Amino acid sequence: MQLRNNSARTWFMGAIIASALLVYPSRAGAQFTDPMQNIGVRPELLKEVGIDQKLNDSIPLNLTFRDEHGNPVELAQYFGSKPMILSLVYYNCPMLCTQVLNGLDRSLQLIPMEIGKDFNVVTVSIDPTERPVLAEAKQVMYAGMYGRPGAVQGWHFLTGDEPQIKQLADSVGFRYAYDPDSKQYAHASAIMLLTPEGKISRYFYGITYPARDLRLGLDEASEGKIGSPVDQVLLFCYHYDPHTGKYGLIVSRVIQISGFLTILIGGILLIVLFRGENDTLRGRGI
């Protein structure tokens, strides 16, 4: 009995440590010497990063970008009769941007509405150095993953010059910053729904977008309706690790809370296990 309890205790302890390492992968080496270091503290660059909800504001439809084939396009050509989903990322992003696009693609596969037929999707790179050849590769990949006709005609990946990118980002409240040391962009993750007239209808934060909410949001946007402000749960595509002096993996309050809950639950299980073992020993008069 004691051997079995010891094995269970070892299993629980291993699970707790593994969970902590998964939640804080970039700080695994220093986590146990200073577990509270930097929790909830943003580096200076991130203090300028975030998303300001500008519901019912219009984006500048006269802005010119380059499509995935290198052709100049005005945003206006994607509007007029259909709502649009807008995502701001950068294509060479080593962290969060891919998760934003993957999450969007998964959600869109679950709704009956179809890209190109019922709505359009426009993804714009915030990095002015990226070129159409990279945008085209992204379009081919995500149109293939989506797997329905019309995706190539309805999901566009644009690149542009910094003034146009900044103006578009400002119009939707998307605040980002570039760090020359890490050569990465610090930004939060979200997608925006826009009406056929180019007005901001709704924001979705994070990297998962409930299919039901997304469908209802598109229905409302198609009718020109404007949603209500939503709570911000920001997930940042940037993190400075003071232990290593390097920029680590994704950081957010959600991930931090998840890690804390994992450790807390594991601790409770250990307490229950220890009490059960002690009761058993006392019952035997040991």
pLDDT tens-digit readout, 40-75? 455 666 678 889 999 999 999 999 999 999 999 999
Token code pair at residue 192: 């925006």
Confidence of residue 194 (pLDDT cuts 50, 70, 90): very high
Q: Mean of the pLDDT values across residues 177-181?
A: 87
Q: C-alpha 186: how far from its chain's center?
A: 12
Token code pair at residue 130: 């990226």
- pLDDT given at position 286: 59
Return contacts of 2-6, CB within 8 angstroms, 24+ apart. Answer: 2/277, 2/281, 5/273, 5/276, 5/277, 5/280
Asked if the model's pLDDT at residue 22 lies above 50, the reply is: no
Q: Mean of the pLDDT values across residues 31-43?
A: 40
Confidence of residue 106 (pLDDT cuts 50, 70, 90): very high
Asked if the model's pLDDT at residue 25 lies above 60, the reply is: no
Asked if the model's pLDDT at residue 186 lies above 90, the reply is: no
Q: Are 194 and 186 in contact (CB under 8 A)?
A: no
- pLDDT given at position 180: 86
Instruction: Please report where in the chains the tokens 């003071």 appear, as a residue.
Output: 242
Give the span between the Cα atoms of 248 and 27, in whole angstroms: 8
- pLDDT given at position 96: 84
- pLDDT given at position 183: 84
- pLDDT given at position 77: 95
pTM above 0.85? no
Confidence of residue 184 (pLDDT cuts 50, 70, 90): confident
Asked if the model's pLDDT at residue 146 lies above 60, the reply is: yes
Domain spans of the chain, in order of start? 2-42+243-283, 44-238
Confidence of residue 113 (pLDDT cuts 50, 70, 90): very high
Task: Domain 44-238: give its CATH code.
Answer: 3.40.30.10
Asked if the model's pLDDT at residue 127 lies above 50, the reply is: yes
**What is the overall mean pLDDT for the chain?**
78
Helix pair 253-283, 2-23: axis angle to 10 deg: 170
Give the span between the Cα atoms of 107 and 105, in whole angstroms: 5
Confidence of residue 270 (pLDDT cuts 50, 70, 90): low
Q: Mean of the pLDDT values across residues 72-86?
A: 96
Asked if the model's pLDDT at residue 150 lies above 60, the reply is: yes
Question: How many Å from the N-terminal Cα to the C-terminal Cα in the chain?
Answer: 13
The more confident residue out of 228 and 126 is: 126
Confidence of residue 235 (pLDDT cuts 50, 70, 90): low
Dihedral over Cα of 128, 155, 191, 255: its sign: negative
Q: C-alpha 193: how far from its chain's center?
A: 16
- pLDDT given at position 206: 87
